Amino acid sequence: MAEIIPGVEEVVSFAVDVYEKEFGEAPDVQVFAPGRVNLIGEHTDYNEGFVMPMALPLVTVIVGKVIEGEQTTIVTTNKHADLPHRTTIEMPNKNSLVRIIPRGMPKWANYVKGVIANYLGSLPPAFRAVIHTSVPTGGGLSSSAALEVATYTFLDAITEPNTIMPTDKALACQKAEHDYAGMPCGIMDQFISALGKKDNALLIDCRNLTSTLVPLSEPEMVILVTNSNVKHELTGSEYPTRRKQCQEAALLIKKISLRDANLKDIEYLTSINTDNDIVKRARHVVTEIQRTMDGAEALNERNYRKFGRLMVESHNSLRDDFDVSCPEVDQLVELAMQVEGVLGSRMTGGGFGGCTVTLVQKYAVKNVIDNIKNNYQGKATFYVCQASDGAKILKNP
């Protein structure tokens, strides 16, 4: 059956135990931020389009305590993180106008460094902390954004109260990923991790940075996240390539971004003998933006069959036009769609592996899992999920 997702309390308890063993005292502060699954709207965020993710019950927890001095110590329990799993960070000089923290090894710590460097409040004090997560690494469920937003939430808890808007916090975390992880991601992942709400997806306008709650609380419907447990090495190089191709398409049609494009613009690109890959990338983005808006309307109307059809169309477009799927993920979608009670399935996340998201009637969940287990060429992991809350401070002295 599906993995049993530990509750936030269980993840916190484990982190507290590790902290006490590492540092010989109890932590004062506990925070969490969730991973996310994008229901529809893939590779549209950096094209100023629409996306519709939901926050997951899979979370990253940080527990810790303020200490004297200027040296922060952090420990991660993530066995997939590069070594060492315990490291120190020299906090920025309090008299400096610019917070400079050098990037370095281990790589996982750069996410924390980036958030400290881009924190919008007062300079945080030095601290000790343990990071523990239930979000799978490299599964396309945004473990990186969960870490960034959890770090920002932790810094909020240990510094003076401020009135920074949640959208600005998400932007600061996005900048941390750009500057310190070298990944030119859009705003979706950080936004949903910070602003998610239980029983709702979030339709995000990535141009205006506004969002609308979309109800997702039908008791007979389940979101099944299936991890292919494969991650092809193309991800790091192909993501920036796709982004550049989209920018080139927008320039050719003289638009600020593909948010402003339509199907006639795609026809124009074809007529001027534009490179076929650029035409395909643009076509995906234009049609995906429309699918996302239609999907929000379908969920508002509780028209789950229509939403399921849009999910399948989205996957086909990501596979054929955006070229970011892979055989393993295609097979997961195909196997899910063979089962009665499945309304839609698609790849989710950046691509080249990772997870699928499937909208399925509750009674059919076991049948879907069994069909995949019996026929999938790899070893999949399953998570039965409901839309969950965004980041929170759980304990603060």
Burial 136-167 (b: 16+ CB within 10 A, else e): bebbbbbbbbbbbbbbbbbbbbbeeeeeeebb
Compute φ and ψ for 20, nearest 5 degrees.
-65, -35
Alpha-carbon distance of 295 to 301, in angstroms, equals 10
Beta bridge mates, 212: 203
Q: What DSSP designation does 14 have? A: H
* Residue recorded with tokens 């899992």: 369
Determine if the peptide bond prior to 84 is cis (ω within 30°): yes
Alpha-carbon distance of 280 to 12, in angstroms, equals 45
Any idea what the Cα angle at residue 120 is, between residues 188 and 78, rounded to 5°?
60
Which residues are catalytic, by number? Answer: 189
Q: Tell me the residue type at 229.
A: N
Alpha-carbon distance of 289 to 268, in angstroms, equals 19
Whether 159 contacts 152, CB under 8 Å: no
The encoded tokens of residue 294 equal: 């239609």
* Residue 272 DSSP SS3: coil
Alpha-carbon distance of 64 to 67, in angstroms, equals 10
Whether 137 contacts 81, CB under 8 Å: yes
The encoded tokens of residue 240 equal: 């920036």
